[in-house]
Amino acid sequence: MPQPDTENDAESAGRFVVIVVRSGGLAGLSKQWRAEPDPDGLPRWQQLVESCPWDDAPAASRGADRYQWRIEVHHGDTAVHQARLDDGQVEGPWRTLVDEVRQAAPSRPVRR
Amino acid sequence: MTPGIVPPFLLDRLASTDDPRMARAAEAARKTLAVPRPTRPTRSRLRLSIEGDTLVAETGPAPDRIISDAANTENLPGRRVRSEDDGPSGDTAVDEAYDGLGETYDFFWDAFARDGIDAAGGSLLATVHFGDDYDNAFWNGERMVFGDGDGEVFVGFTRSLSVIAHELGHGVTEASGGLEYQGQSGALNESLSDVFGALAEQHHRSQSADEASWLIGAGIFAAAVQGEALRSMKAPGTAYDDDVLGKDPQPGHMRDYVETTDDNGGVHINSGIPNKAFYLAATALGGFAWERAGLIWYRTITAGTLSPTADFSAFATATLSAAASEYGEKSEEVAAVRAAWAGVGVEEDAPA
């Protein structure tokens, strides 16, 4: 099971952490969610992560005030994946990953 | 003019260029503008008012509003639930959106003689009840979309005329040539929508610049939230200070500009700087803010000369040009605009 958010995060070597930050929107408020799977859940989380098309940068959406999503995967101190998506681009495997992270950890406001 | 795929401002700009490398394109644009376009039915109305002892009858264009209901899904456009001339639906969000679009349309027509988002009487499309507990409202390039809020932080985005006009304002900016939604040009795009949002509300309430609240989104926070609105144009950074949301992060001066990669480079944060500049210009000039400061800002984005990647300094220069064209180089309007941009650290003060 994913573990609750702690402040002692990616410093610990070998930890697998997925961070989702939602920013923008009309209000410009940011929220962050973070999942840190335990060893039993790691294969499933790795599969969720690797099913996302990290290298295919989606075209920017039209419009304004859409949410912007930043999705990061850290292994220990190393950021192994990062993507920025507009709200309308969070679909398919991205939507699955984001929903899993949001369910795994309560949100917290981001300190700017 | 009935809109074609190439917007009229672009054709006008091409047609008037004297760049010899663009001679063929300029000629083509002039021919295109000269071709009669098929007429499209537009809505018009008779408005009556009393000025002194005189009854004034005025004909003019009318909005064409179409409100749809996403039924708490994220599928657009949703089911059409209220169109122009339909009576109230009984659904609060539907009717608030319908009324708010009408009030925003009236503002743009009365202040700038602009006939809707495309300036050609196109339909004003909106969807309400978007998503589940959805804490946002946005412009998707075609329509305005409003969530209901989660009830704990936000209680509905159609409650605020400034929010409805903010979203419609994004459509006006886009139809006028656009400002790229990133960094400083994105913050200008956001600020213009706040300007139109505030002015639409002031126009609806017949408020002068010194009577207005200059708040954006008043009334959409739940009672428990410690804040009065999303943003304050008068005092950026003071709209809320809440245990959960934190403190309003907007700067009101270039020395406090926020560098960030989130939020498309802080477009909703650094918009506080041009917002404050507009407030300073409007209150220096006094009276109804849409009559002079608003007109200068409107002329700036509709002249067809503003780069979509303009930064704050380029936009400030463009507002000074617009003010000089409208009122003259030595006018109090030019002086007020220059002092406003100096007041937020974008331009230097005029030499004594």
User: In the predicted model, is pLDDT for residue B17 greater than 90?
Assistant: no
Cα A52 to Cα A85: distance, rounded to the nearest angstrom: 12
Complex ipTM over 0.95: no
Percent of chain A scoring above 70 in pLDDT: 81
pLDDT of residue A105: 78
User: What domains, with CATH codes, occur in chain B?
Assistant: 1-40 (no CATH), 44-159 (3.10.170.10), 183-343 (1.10.390.10)
DSSP-derived 3-state class of residue A2:
strand
Q: Region B290-314: what's the mean pLDDT?
A: 97
Question: B195: closest CA among B147, B238, B224, B162?
Answer: B162
Between helix B293-302 and helix B92-112 the angle, nearest 10°, is 90
Count the residues in chain B.
Answer: 352
Q: Please write the tens of the pLDDT for every residue from B324-341.
A: 999 999 999 999 999 999
C-alpha angle B278-B279-B280 in degrees, rounded to nearest 5: 90
* Catalytically annotated residue among B190, B268, B333, B347: B268
A vs B, Cβ pairs < 8 A, gives 86
Active site (annotated) includes residue B167? yes
pTM: predicted TM-score of the whole model, two decimal places: 0.87
Cα B327 to Cα B284: distance, rounded to the nearest angstrom: 15
- List the single residue in A26, A29, A67 with the smallest CB-CB distance to B245: A29
User: In the predicted model, is pLDDT for residue A6 greater than 50?
Assistant: no
Question: B169: closest CA among B148, B138, B147?
Answer: B138
For B86-120, b where at least 16 C-beta lie within 10 A, e where not — what string? eeebebebbbbbbbbbbbbbbbbbebbebbbbbbb
Q: Is the dihedral of CA B28, B34, B36, B37 positive or negative?
A: positive
Question: B197: closest CA among A63, A86, A26?
Answer: A26
Look up residue A63 and give its two tokens: 């419009």
Query: Hey, what amino acid is at A58?
Result: P
DSSP-derived 3-state class of residue B307:
coil
Q: Please write the tens of the pLDDT for every residue from A35-76.
A: 999 989 999 999 999 999 999 867 777 899 999 999 999 998
> Given an 8 Å threshold on Cβ–Cβ distance, is A24 in contact with B190?
no
Q: Please write the tens of the pLDDT for every residue from B56-110.
A: 888 889 999 999 999 999 999 999 999 998 999 999 999 999 999 999 999 999 9
pLDDT of residue B31: 75
Question: B315: closest CA among B289, B259, B268, B277?
Answer: B277
User: In the predicted model, is pLDDT for residue B19 greater than 80?
Assistant: no
pLDDT of residue B226: 96
pLDDT of residue B134: 95
